[in-house]
Structure 1
């Protein structure tokens, strides 16, 4: 059983999770049976540092090189899933700007046509989930809040992501991403990368079809059933627009 509460003023009541000056409220709290986690924007150094530690641990485990620190960037929104004061997952949304996207370094020739056709592009980066977390709800919640930021707060039409070729099937099957460009060397991580693209219009349709159904979704094994229901989504959008 999954219950979602859109927070109005604060997130968890656990003061150890808040701290004092470093506390930023959760965007949304999610309860799965007896377990509760919150999704928040990592907008203070403490939260960015916690996200960086998880990313560095998981990327090192996968053998990726490079700097995986989450820095302060006006064009980047870093989200964290937090349980009992610990960051259990993180995902960042990188918005297009004068400096471009990180994936422009390798795939700019495939991204520029969408810009030229009037699209607004962004990218998902730095996904990391604690290996002890097996919940699809954590992943679905992080991706859905990032999707809301992209579509509703920044008007993006297309969401790109660079992934190792061995992970491409996950994004195709779980999030309906399509391959935009086959494998190329990615010097940032010293590994090959495939460029995938998601479309916000298609994502909106999938949310309307199955979001909020969780394990009860029939014939759909993607992450979309673990997104927030349309009613819950509307509450999250309203909250994010209020807090800017």
Structure 2
């Protein structure tokens, strides 16, 4: 039986020490160690890192404000400056048309944003030895987004969280009416009861998924009509991992 922390390996690969070391994965992480020009050319759009670009961060804020307002939610965290333990990805057709974004937040001395409502539930995973992270500020314009865009953003979140930083468990706060989608399409489980989230002025529930389960779904390409069918091929996953890891590996060495 493969150990719980084993990573996807379509061919023999040995991960660098920092990817499996709790101290390095958290304490040495800085967004500036990533290549600020990291870009994936997809079918008619690109996915790129946004932490280094004031222009992209401004467009992220506008997108979040637009989509949250459309749903009757507040966007009080739309203009939050990037933090050292966060990485933001964007999907865009060019520098002027950004239509999707998601932020990965690693656990830190300040905890996760979800600790504000669900620290007891998240602490259970911490006490069991889990290394936790979260997805925040997810926004995709339905006019231009698709299952493939969502899947590719989430696959990159997995690569960063699991393969680069050695995290074990991923959380997300979502509106209750969106909970079934994430549970059905990605395999999340309900981990915390409905509460009112003051950041958006709306109900929220806590979702949780083991990144080992995500690994299994990727290997099996999912079952039924899930987002895993639209993830990158395994060979592409490793290429993206190498591309993301190289500047971080050089910084730590």
Normalising by structure 2, report the TM-score: 0.80
Shift of 1:134: 4.1
Q: Is 1:128 aligned to residue 139 of structure 2? A: yes
Q: Is 1:27 aligned to residue 39 of structure 2? A: yes
2:239 aligns with: 235
Q: Which has the higher contact order (CA 8 A, sep 6+)?
A: 2
Question: What does 1:67-216 align with in structure 2 at a 5 Å threshold?
Answer: 67-85=77-95, 86-210=97-221
Task: Report SS of the residue matched to 1:64.
Answer: coil
Aligned positions, number: 211
2:60 aligns with: 51
1:220 aligns with: 224
CA distance in 1: counterparts of 2:90 and 2:38, whole angstroms: 9
Q: Is the 8 A contact 2:38 2:244 kept in 1?
A: no
Q: Is the 8 A contact 1:110 1:181 kept in 2?
A: yes
Shift of 1:189: 1.4
CA distance in 2: counterparts of 1:131 and 1:235, whole angstroms: 29
CA distance in 2: counterparts of 1:67 and 1:113, whole angstroms: 26
Distance 1:134 1:51, change over 3 A: closer
Computed over aligned residues only, the root mean square deviation of the Cα atoms, in angstroms, reads 1.5
Provide Cα deviations, 1:43-78, integer angstroms capped at 9, x if missing partner: 221111111111111011111123322412111101
Q: Please, which runs of 5 or more residues in structure 1 have no aligned partner?
A: 1-22, 212-218
Q: Is the 8 A contact 2:88 2:101 kept in 1?
A: yes
Instruction: Please list every run of at least 4 consecutive aligned residues from structure 1 whose deviation after the TM superposition is greater than 4 angstroms.
Output: none
Shift of 1:84: 2.7
Q: Is the 8 A contact 1:27 1:39 kept in 2?
A: yes
CA distance in 2: counterparts of 1:208 and 1:60, whole angstroms: 38
Q: Is the 8 A contact 1:48 1:70 kept in 2?
A: no
Q: Which has the higher strand share?
A: 1
Q: Is the 8 A contact 1:27 1:240 kept in 2?
A: no
Distance 1:166 1:186, change over 3 A: same
